[in-house]
Amino acid sequence: MVKFLVQRIIGMAVTMFFVSIMVFIIMELPPGDYAERWAFRKFSGTGAQITEADLDNIRANFGLDRPAPERYFKWISGIVLHGDFGEAFAFQTSVNNVIGQKIWLTLAILFSTLIVTYLVAIPVGIYAAIRRGSAEDYALTVFSYLGFALPNFLLALVLLYISITVFDSSVGGLFSPEYADAPWSTAKALDLLSHLIIPSIILAWSATAFQLQTVRATMLDELNNLSVTAARARGVPEWKLLLKYPARLAINPVVSTMSFDANRIFSELPIVALVLGLPELGELLLKSYLDLDMFVAGAILLILTFMIVFMNFLSDIFLAILDPRVKLIEG
């Protein structure tokens, strides 16, 4: 088990190293350079005359005159050694300050979405497989198709529209106004939970459609297994036998694709967050892309990807615990 863990952690580090290079390339992509944008932000409208020499000064200040590999090294070592993500010029403060507690809100959204997804997809998928070919199964297939076809942000808009016209209340935001700036308390946490429900349902929408079909397909494969027939022949009650053999195995592909779900959720998060006005990393990522505030964007992209890689690590461990066959192969 220790060897297994060490292997996975090394793999994770290698992946993150390559991801960080890719993120750095994306940060470098926008035309014009950081110094010009920074100067524009800082001095536009102040009447100050910026000369080429000033720009060179700024460049030297930020180390922009150094070659790219050196800048990459400085950036990544700042993150790894000091947890320092650099400076967010649009906000005139450090990236860490800007991102701060949004990481926790983002994690809260991720986990509540995953919980909603699995709470719906696993039992419903098993049910659909058992009742294969029934009207319910057919309806669920249609639902899955819609889950693929209806973009989450449209769903968000529709729900927002309904909530405002029918219920006369907004589903947007993560906190009620009275808690937005209040210090953390039980009441504030409960308020956050109640606001998490709608975004979670919206974000879980397509992941659920996808996992539901996975569970159903695996379940169908397993239902034909000899172990099921043998158990049935032994007279094991039907519900017990279903839970003991096929249902247990049907969960495996779901567990092993947890990181894909996280990827899907983060992929959709920025746009849904924009529509619903959620103050978390996805929305900030979108804003910083639009402002070309690439240090913030790069940091968020790196953090989101790290969460996904970490989820992958977790799902490997869960899988090894759930399915003894995996452990045997990995040693």
Partner 1 sequence: MTTTDLSTQEVQAPITQMESEEAQRYYSASQFQLIWWRFRKHRLARTGALILLTMALVGLFAEFVGPYSGITRVSEAVLVAPQAPQFCNDDGCSLRPFLPGITSERNTETLRMETKIDPSVRRDIYFFVEGEEYKLLGMFKMNTHLFGVEEGSIHLLGTDSLGRDIFSRTLLATRTSLSIGIIGVIIAFVLALVIGGVAGYFGGGLDYAIQRLTEIVRVIPVIPLYMGLAAAFPKEWSSTQVYFAMTLVLALVGWPTLARRIRGKLLSLRGEDYVIAASLAGAGPSRIIGRHLLPAFMSYIIVDLVISFPFMLLSETALSFVGLGLRPPTVSWGVLLQDAQTVRAIEQAPWLFIPALFVIVAVLSFTVLGDGLRDAADPYQVSG
Residues 149-208 touching partner 1, rule: CB under 8 A, are: 149-151, 153-154, 157, 160-161, 164-165
Is residue 103 involved in binding partner 1 (CB under 8 A)?
no
Which stretch in 59-67, 91-99, 173-181, 298-306 sits in contact with partner 1 by CB under 8 A?
298-306
Q: How far is CA 60 from CA 51, 57, 68, in A?
A: 14, 5, 14
CA nearest neighbour of 216 among 185, 251, 169, 190: 251
CA atoms of 139 and 124, how far apart (whole Å):
12
Binding residue for partner 1, selected from 58, 79, 196, 301, defined by CB under 8 A: 301
- Nearest distance in Å: CB 14, partner 1: 9
CB of 125 to partner 1, least distance (A): 18
Residue among 18, 46, 166, 177 that touches partner 1 (CB under 8 A): 18
| End-to-end CA separation in angstroms for the chain | 8
State the nearest-atom distance from the C-beta of 148 to partner 1, in Å. 6
88 has which bridge partners? 93
236: number of CA atoms within 13 Å, CB side?
A: 14
**Residue 145 binding partner 1, by CB under 8 A:** yes
Q: Does 40 interact with partner 1 (rule: CB under 8 A)?
A: no
Applying CB under 8 A, the site for partner 1 has a residue count of 46
Phi, psi dihedral angles at 248 (to 5 degrees): -65, -40
- Non-local (6+) Cβ contacts of 218 within 8 A are 246, 249, 250, 252, 253
Candidate list 4, 8, 19, 313; residue touching partner 1; CB under 8 A: 19
Please name which of 294, 314, 282 lies closest in space to residue 41, comparing C-alpha atoms. Answer: 294
- Comparing CA positions, the residue from 202, 39, 189, 163 lying closest to residue 104 is 189
| Secondary element (H or E) of residue 320 | helix 294-322
- Given a contact cutoff of 8 angstroms between Cβ atoms, the answer to whether 96 and 186 are in contact is no
* Interaction of residue 309 with partner 1, rule CB under 8 A: yes
Which of 201, 209 has the CB closer to partner 1? Answer: 209
By CB under 8 A, what part of segment 229-288 binds partner 1? 259, 263, 266-271, 274-275, 282, 285-286
Give least dist CB 236 to partner 1, A.
25
304 is a site residue for partner 1 (CB under 8 A):
yes
State the residues that interact with partner 1 by CB under 8 A.
15, 18-19, 22-23, 26, 29-31, 145-146, 148-151, 153-154, 157, 160-161, 164-165, 259, 263, 266-271, 274-275, 282, 285-286, 289-290, 292, 297, 300-301, 304-305, 308-309, 312
